[in-house]
Chain A
Amino acid sequence: MADAKRAAPASSGGRPLSPHLQVYRIQMTSVSSILTRITGSAMMVGVILGVWWLLAAATSDAHFARVDALATSWFGDLVFTGSLWAVWYHYLAGLRHLYYDAGHGLDIPTAEKLGWACIIGSVVLTVITILLVQ
């Protein structure tokens, strides 16, 4: 908003203008919030594949062979790795939400640091998890 005010042309009479798409700088706070929703929804792809895989294991050798081939293919790796990152991101963003709800971390510098912590932390936790379950 401060940037938009400074960028206001003289023709506007110095009035603050609405954020314009070409000069609008997205914020860590909004991006990290939207990512929480996206990861919460997107991880369902991994959940569905995982539950299908469990059902196949419970059913028969033939069914398991088919679903396991998909779950351990490059496509399965992509889905499970993506979902794993989504779970860790959503996990950290959820902890941040609990921290916010308790009335902490709501000033902008802290909120932006927490956003970066969610993004970097989720990548680190994803790598650690993959190494642990190898």
Chain B
Amino acid sequence: MRYLTPRKRAEGRGAAHHGAEHHWAMTVSSVGLAFLVPLWLYIFGSALGDTREAVLATFSRPLPAILTALVLVVGMRHFAMGATTMIEDYARGTNRKLLIIFVIALSWVIAATGLFALARMAL
């Protein structure tokens, strides 16, 4: 007879050694992105190929600017966390740490750059 509960035996045994909060954060951001992304694809795709004046006019309107900002922040957070899960499956030790730091830093740089561009166009 086992005295440990199945949960106690399973806890911490995955590649990341933890994960409930991570999984929930991915669920929340994925639902958010499911609403944001289709309209954002249409707005960004329509703006692509326009003249600079038209691009500036598009992204100084509230909806395209706010939507792009949300896609950048929620999307880059979702990417950083998803890529972290992937790295935890395939890499070990110092390599794992360096790769996770790189991915998180990259996603913040992309988000900050996009937000700076939006602020400059919209304000």
Contact = CB atoms under 8 A, between A and B. Distances in A.
A47 B110 contact: yes
Contacts of B118: 54, 58
Interface in B86-118: 86, 106, 110, 113-114, 116-118
B114 A54 contact: yes
The DSSP consensus for interface residues of chain B is helix
Interface residues of B, number: 33
Interface residues of A, number: 33
Given A57-B59, A58-B120, A98-B31, A51 B52 contact: no
Interface of B: 27, 30-31, 33-34, 37, 41-42, 44-46, 48-49, 52, 55-56, 59, 68, 72, 75, 79, 82-83, 86, 106, 110, 113-114, 116-118, 120-121
Interface of A: 37, 40-41, 44, 47-48, 50-55, 57-59, 61, 64, 68, 71-72, 80, 84, 87, 91, 94-95, 97-98, 101, 129-130, 132-133
